[in-house]
Amino acid sequence: MIKYINYGGADGVTGACHMLNTEFGNILLDCGLFQGRDRKIYSNLEMYFDPREVDAVVLSHAHIDHCGRIPILYEMGYRGKVYGTEATKLLSEIVLEESSKIFEEFSGESYKLFNLENVQMFLDNYVKVDYGKTTKILDNVFIELFDAGHLLGSASILVKIKDKSVFYSGDIGKLNTPILKDPEKITGADYAIIESTYGSLEKHESNEFFDEFKNIIINTLKRGGKCIIPSSTVGKMQEILYLINDIFEENDLKYKVYIDSPMSSKVVDIYEKCKYLYDEDAQEKLNNGDNPLDFTNLNYIITKEESIEIQENEEPYVVLSAGGMCEGGRVIYHLRKQIDNPKNSIILVGNQVHGTLGCRLSKGSKEIKIFKDKFKVKAEIYNFPSLSGHGDRNTIVDYVCSMNKKPKKIFLVHGDRKNQMDLRENLNFKNVEYTKFLKRYELK
């Protein structure tokens, strides 16, 4: 009999970690870092299981809340393989290296969860798996990966254990995300573990947001202000860049655009290498000789010195800077410098997790604290939660309902209770479980 146990990301959107105990071995699906409020409830250091008893790890995608505890597994004695796509390996390397540096820079030794050596062990043990190819990971255990449309290389995972199957959605992408294909539908499974981030949001606003986003950027630049866009370096930054490229080309804008993140040029190289994963629109641009991630006024800022130089610069510009929820990364320094100037705009994108500075700003805080200093918030603050990598409720419902083989039970994860309740109500399935942390579920 298979047992399913959740070790993170059951009732929150960070720390994703799911274990399948089987007679053929123990399989871990993702092992992500707890962040924001979740970090105060759950420990990143206590794994809640013995990593030496895990036989294989399958990774859905390269976001830190899905891959961030894998190096800790190696630190704690895990010596097995990690399975995932090529793009996930390349992007995880960047994400994990960047995190280990942020730990050192912002949190000191006390919060140093893993080091570059642990990251190297993860890379050495990584096995690349293509979408749609059934791959043996243990005796009698096979996996198949499907494009989840959430991040370059992101996958939903079907685990086949002898005559049973368990499906894990990972993070399900939003339809029409720049560069990415839409989430690939699957035929079904005996059991399904499904994400519920936007279970309460029936539908993302689609076109209106782009016009508003465009107008904010143009108006801010024309009044001599700066647009500061905090963004995670991997995925989100490239999607926003794609939109900004469109805005600048359409309106023939001559202002400078900076990408201020030490890792960003490496990420673009990975996108270049994995362009076979691009959606049709992005492929078409490439075929016409227009790289959607490059344009005349774009500048990559790699060193700290260059970053300080542009912060001092009086000219209007757009800067995309690392640190999507304003909890760390270079964007902190841009905020310190620019947040008290009413000419500037801070444009938040995607889901701002509770307990983060990004969340406080999105809720209208008039004064914020960065390190030990207080700052008045005079810049205009905008929030675009729909510029998110996650599908809305309609997308998830459609995704689940399109399975020919209906699961005997659906486990909802990766969302708070309100989102899970709203999703459950709309799923039209009898057997839907609000997954509980550490509870053992028998999959017969």
* Span of 89-97, 171-179, 201-209, 345-353 interacting with Zn ion by CB under 5 A: 171-179
Residues 214-243 that bind Zn ion (CB under 5 A): none
CA 376 to chain centroid, in Å, comes to: 30
Dihedral Cα 387, 393, 395, 400, nearest 10 deg = 140
Of 182 and 380, nearer to Zn ion (C-beta) is 182
CA distance 391 to 393: 7
**Please, which residue, 171 or 260, has the CB nearer to Zn ion?**
171
191 by DSSP, 3-state: which? strand
Cα dist from 441 to 1, 33, 155, 428, 434, whole Å: 10, 23, 24, 22, 12
- Least distance to Zn ion from the beta carbon of 150, Å? 6
Interacting positions 14-33 with Zn ion (CB under 5 A): none
Q: Smallest distance, Å, CB 379 to Zn ion?
A: 28
CB 182 within 8 Å of CB 176: yes
Residues numbered 48-67 forming contacts with Zn ion, rule: CB under 5 A: 63
Site for Zn ion in 254-273 (CB under 5 A): none
Alpha carbons 59 and 70: distance in angstroms, whole number? 9
Helix ranges (DSSP H) in 316-414: 331-338, 357-362, 393-401
User: What does the block give as tokens for 189?
Assistant: 């499974």
Near Zn ion in 346-405, by CB under 5 A: none
**CB of residue 429 to Zn ion, shortest distance in Å:** 24
Residues in the chain: 444
Closer residue to Zn ion, CB minimum distance, 147 or 171: 171
The distance of closest approach from Cβ of residue 370 to Zn ion in the complex, given in angstroms and rounded to an integer, is: 26
54, two tokens: 């895990």
What does the alpha-carbon distance between residue 317 and residue 104 come to, in Å, rounded to a whole number? 30
Closest residue (Cβ) to Zn ion? 63
Output 63 or 89, the one with its CB closest to Zn ion.
63
Judged by beta carbon, residue 148 or residue 348, the one nearer Zn ion is: 148
Task: Name residue 331's amino acid.
Answer: V
* Closest by Cα among 226, 228, 256 to 323: 228
Toward Zn ion, which CB reaches closer, 155 or 263?
Answer: 155
Secondary structure of residue 291 in the 3-state scheme = coil
- How many of the chain's residues bind Zn ion (CB under 5 A)? 2
CB of 384 to Zn ion, least distance (A): 17
Answer for which of 171, 260, 422, 433 binds Zn ion (CB under 5 A) is 171
Least distance to Zn ion from the beta carbon of 61, Å?
Answer: 6
The interface with Zn ion within residues 64-83 (CB under 5 A) comprises none
CB of 88 to Zn ion, least distance (A): 11
Residue type at 125 in one-letter notation: N
Q: Give the nearer residue to Zn ion in terms of CB position, either 169 or 200.
A: 169
Contacts to Zn ion by CB under 5 A: 63, 171
